[in-house]
Chain A
Amino acid sequence: MIKGSIPKKLEEMFRKKAMEKYGYSKGAISKALEAAIRLWLRYDYDLADEEESNNRAFESMKEELEEKYQGMYVVIADGRLISVHKTLDEALKVEGGKFSHRIVFRVGEKPVRRVRLGWRTKTRHAGST
């Protein structure tokens, strides 16, 4: 049994949508809640320990990297900076067998927030609809 509270306006929208989708029956809210939770669980990734450690290392050294290595490719593994390279080719060849995860980053690269996934790309079924 899950209990919690959400803003009144959001609850009204959720109930209205659930009724439209699943009908005005007793189980409609539960079905909609299950589908919503499945979607939320699928939205993001949980990182393994080594991934987490490499990402924390990146965050801690990001400013320094931007000052020193603009346009270069840096390799982070084992929670530390491993090497810096002029080309992606060189960066991809570094000590591949030693680690289960590495970050390869071109310093100065700007993040892309959202990508359209294609005309026919589908996701797996997220629950009862």
Chain B
Amino acid sequence: MEDENKACWQYLNSGGIKFPILSLLVISPIETQSSQEIFVRIDTGYDGFLLLSEEKYRRMGFYLSELPREYWPEGETVTGEVFRLRRAWTIVEIPKLNIRIEGHVDTFRGNTDDLAGLKLIENLKLLLDGPAQTACIIF
């Protein structure tokens, strides 16, 4: 669902609730492994750039681009739980729109969510079209 000036994705239905999502090409630091297109939920409650599941973080080799441990922040859930995140460098691309953004990818023990946070979306013009159930990046 794309034209010259925008790329759009249908909201994702998860457990009866529909979420706006984006598709990102996440660049892996492993040379031999192809980078992966990942659907991420847009979450304005997440302060960071990109949160990936623990499994994707490991499989895509982000142990090869990690920040020093003293630069790993604590993560805090809305219920007040606090624990350590792992944090690495990544580059995300939206090839259709020729967008390429550098930022940090986070994960934590047991995480299964993939989220685009405030640090990522501050680089984008986003249109959340509720009636059409689409999230679009406008270029």
Contacts and interface: CB of A to CB of B under 8 A. Distances in A.
Interface in B54-102: 61, 63-78, 81-86, 88-89, 91, 102
Nearest to B67: A105
Interface stretch (B3-11, B26-34, B123-131): B26-34
A6 interface: no
Contacts, number: 139
B83 A43 contact: yes
A120 B43 contact: yes
A118 B64 CA distance: 26
Nearest to B70: A111
Interface residues of A, number: 40
Interface residues of B, number: 47
A109 B89 CA distance: 12
Interface in A92-106: 92-93, 96-97, 99-106
Contacts of B39: none
Interface of A: 39, 42-45, 47, 51, 55, 58-59, 88-89, 91-93, 96-97, 99-106, 109, 111-124
Given A47-B69, A104-B88, A105-B67, 11 more contacts: A42-B83, A45-B69, A45-B86, A92-B27, A96-B30, A97-B32, A99-B64, A101-B64, A104-B64, A121-B45, A123-B81
